[in-house]
Amino acid sequence: MSARFDVVVVGAGPGGMAAAVVAAEAGREVCLLDDNLTPGGQIWRGFRTETAHKYPHGAGFLEWSARLQHTDCAVWQGWQAVASPAAGVLRLERGGEARTVRFDRLILATGARERFLPFPGWTLPGVMGAGGLQALVKGGLDARRKRVVLAGSGPLLLAVAAGLKGAGAQVMGIYEQAPAIRLAGFALSLLGQPGKLAEGLRYRSKSIKAPYRTGAWVVRAEGRGRVERVTLTDGRNEWSVACEWLGSGFHLVPNLELPQLLGCRVEGGYVAVDRLQQSSAAGVACVGELTGIGGLEKAVIEGQIAGWAAAGLESRAKALGSQLEEKKRFAGRLDRAFQLRPELRKLVKADTVVCRCEDVVHGELESCKGWREAKLHTRCGMGACQGRICGAATEFLYGWENASARPPVYPAAVSTMAVPQNSDA
Amino acid sequence: MIEDQEETWNLFREGGMRLTDDGFFITMNGKRVRVALGTSVAAAMMMSGEPCRFSVTGEARGPLCGMGICMECRATVDGVAHRRTCQMVCVQGMEVVTG
């Protein structure tokens, strides 16, 4: 089937919801499409309208979901945008079913994923992303009495610790690779951000019973057939902690595949946008984590700016500019505070898998000159995830740039891709 | 599209977990497994102790990202190969084959 809208929004997290809502409230025909089962993205994953008020960020979820339900916006859940056969057209897929959607304006709000770094044992079952573990628990994974170690970087570790404790897990320790001095500077910088500070403290107070150590990181995970023990270090001493699960994510990286496919210019790891969130690709706006990892508040402001711009209400969009500046400064401070320490490049051994899809090990990759050579010689990045996981890792480990995206940006059926561009199928 | 919307909003309003619910059964590699309403297939797989798949060199793998990006949790669901199980909810009688 084929459908046409004034505005299509890809990604139903906070930024995408805000964009779709304001454009629809302004009378535009809007379609919000999203890969997940329900709207909310990652930060509002699994939130329900009856119980959301109990959770951090619940109020924002309730406001935006209520507004969304009052509009005529079409909400398509479970759909992946896999290709753009022509300007103003996206090809979508859901479980083997395909659709074409046409639009005048496109707003991308595809969010971010965790940055995963390889270390010996990171492929063992039971080693997951910190946010990944949180998402699985929200999907019904029973966390009661499970011993969990959280190691990596970023404010997400604390949020996950609080969530897991609430779900009955025993958090054995939270290990943040960034040194205390950097975080102290970051905490000071939050004094002008009461919302953020309160959020951080709320997480801290809930998870306070678990040791939170800065300047400490995972060295390896071990176990027979699954993780049983994690070894950590502070650079001087090493120690081991027994656990059933290790949640390990090193802050976030934006999901740039779709913007890159559509030709949006990327600068310094993020999509470059103007004051109305417009990218270098005509008619394509980008919001939220795509333009800088800054969290919920930045995404909601940018979503509204892009939504109003798409509806032709530029003055309303511009009025949010000063609020946005503050959130952008916060995003910059986040990136600096949680910068990765160079020691993390030394965790991989010659036989440590770097590309999980094709089982390509560090020993095969370290002699390659770049991403292209690695792909050709080792199949690194050529598997099912299309470099989504190993791309960020090889960028950090070897300094490789992986700046291209090709259709389909997700594995798709041949039938999805085979439709002629002018067809209505 | 209308049905789609209804389905989405119903899941949205009522979705998530109802742990008080008695749940229902799915089949995991031929074994009957009881799951609660709203459980993702990846979560059900982890709770049954099954690895999702074996890598090209034969390593057992479980879910990693939990949000449909890494493809580690892909398995055969109701005869369709390579489904991302973290993005799917269990339904009664579903047949999941890992590996």
User: Can you give the pLDDT at residue B17?
Assistant: 40
Residues from chain A that touch B44, judged by Cβ atoms under 8 A, are 140
CB within 8 Å: A38 and B66: no
Predicted local distance difference test score (pLDDT) of residue A131: 97
Q: Is A250:A335 a contact under the CB 8 Å cutoff? A: no
pLDDT tier at A182 (50, 70, 90 boundaries)?
A: confident
**With 70 as the cut, is the pLDDT of residue B10 above it?**
no
User: Does A123 contact chain B (CB < 8 Å)?
Assistant: yes
Q: Do B72 and A47 touch (CB under 8 A)?
A: no
**Could you give the CA distance from residue A361 to residue A363 in angstroms, rounded to a whole number?**
5
A142 close contact with B: CB closer than 8 A: yes
* Residues of chain B contacting A121 with CB distance shorter than 8 Å: none
What's the pLDDT tens digit per position in A362-393? 999 999 999 999 999 999 999 999 999 999 99
Contact at CB, A225 and B71, closer than 8 angstroms? no
Q: Mind listing the pLDDT tens digit for each residue in B67-80?
A: 999 999 999 999 99
B91/A contact by beta carbon, under 8 A: no
pLDDT per residue as tens digits for the range A144-160: 999 999 999 999 998 89
Section A347-373 average pLDDT: 96
The residue of chain A with its CA nearest to that of B69 is A385
Q: How close A72 gets to chain B, by Cα (Å)?
A: 10
Q: Which residues of A touch B47 (CB under 8 A)?
A: 141-142
Q: Is the pLDDT of residue B3 over 50?
A: no
Q: Do B55 and A95 touch (CB under 8 A)?
A: no
Q: What pLDDT shows up at residue A365? A: 97
Determine which of A2-16, A173-187, A369-383 has the lowest per-residue pLDDT on average: A173-187
pLDDT in tens, B81-99: 999 999 999 999 999 999 8
- Provide the pLDDT confidence category of residue A202 given band limits of 50, 70 and 90: low
Q: How far apart are CA A75 and CA A65, in angstroms?
A: 11
Q: Which residue has the higher pLDDT, A206 or B16?
A: A206
Residue A410 pLDDT: 85
Total-model pTM: 0.92
What would the pLDDT profile of A253-298 be if each residue is shown by its tens digit? 999 999 999 999 999 999 999 999 999 999 999 999 999 999 999 9
- Is the pLDDT at A44 greater than 70? The verdict is yes
Separation of alpha carbons A118 and A250, rounded Å = 11
Q: Do A129 and B56 touch (CB under 8 A)?
A: no
Q: What is the mean pLDDT of residues B32-58?
A: 94
Instruction: State the amino acid at position A283 in one-letter form.
Output: G
CB-nearest to A74 from B5, B42, B87 is B5
Note the pLDDT of residue B20. Answer: 44
Three-class secondary structure of residue A284 per DSSP: strand
pLDDT in tens, A64-73: 999 999 999 9
pLDDT over 90, % of chain A:
79
- The class (CATH top level) of A121-249 is alpha beta
Reported confidence tier of residue B36, pLDDT bands at 50, 70, 90:
very high
Q: pLDDT tier at B35 (50, 70, 90 boundaries)?
A: very high
Cβ-Cβ contacts under 8 Å between A and B: the total is: 156
Residue A212: CB partners within 8 Å, gap ≥ 6? Answer: A158, A161, A173, A174, A176, A204
pLDDT of residue A325 exceeding 70, the answer is: yes
**Mean pLDDT computed over every residue of chain A:** 92
Give the model's confidence band at A183: pLDDT under 50 very low, under 70 low, under 90 confident, else very high: confident
The CATH code belonging to domain A2-113+253-334 is 3.50.50.60
Which residue from B69, B83, B88 is facing A385, i.e. has the nearest CB? B69
Structurally, chain B folds into a number of domains equal to 1
Mutate to test the interface with A, among B70, B78, B88 (most CBs of A within 10 A): B70
Q: How far is A268 from chain B (nearest CA, A)?
A: 22
pLDDT class of A46 with cuts at 50, 70, 90 = confident
Q: Which CATH number fits the domain that encloses residue B36?
A: 3.10.20.440
CB–CB contact A384 B12 (8 Å): no
Q: Give the model's pLDDT for residue A27.
A: 97
Q: Please report the pLDDT score of residue A420 as a whole number.
A: 52
Q: Pinpoint the residues of chain A covered by CATH 3.50.50.60.
A: 2-113+253-334, 121-249
Those residues with Cβ within 8 angstroms of residue A12's Cβ, 6 or more apart along the chain or in another chain: A20, A32, A33, A34, A36, A39, A40, A41, A75, A77, A109
Q: B50 is in which domain, residue-wise?
A: 2-97
Helical residues (DSSP H) of A71-155, grouped into ranges: 130-138
CA–CA gap between residue A188 and residue A374 (Å, rounded): 42
Cβ atoms of residues B41 and B88 within 8 Å: yes
Q: In chain B, what residues touch A412 (CB-CB under 8 Å)?
A: none
pLDDT over 80 (residue B14): no
Highest mean pLDDT among A165-169, A235-239, B46-50: A235-239
Question: Residue B6: is its pLDDT beyond 70?
Answer: no
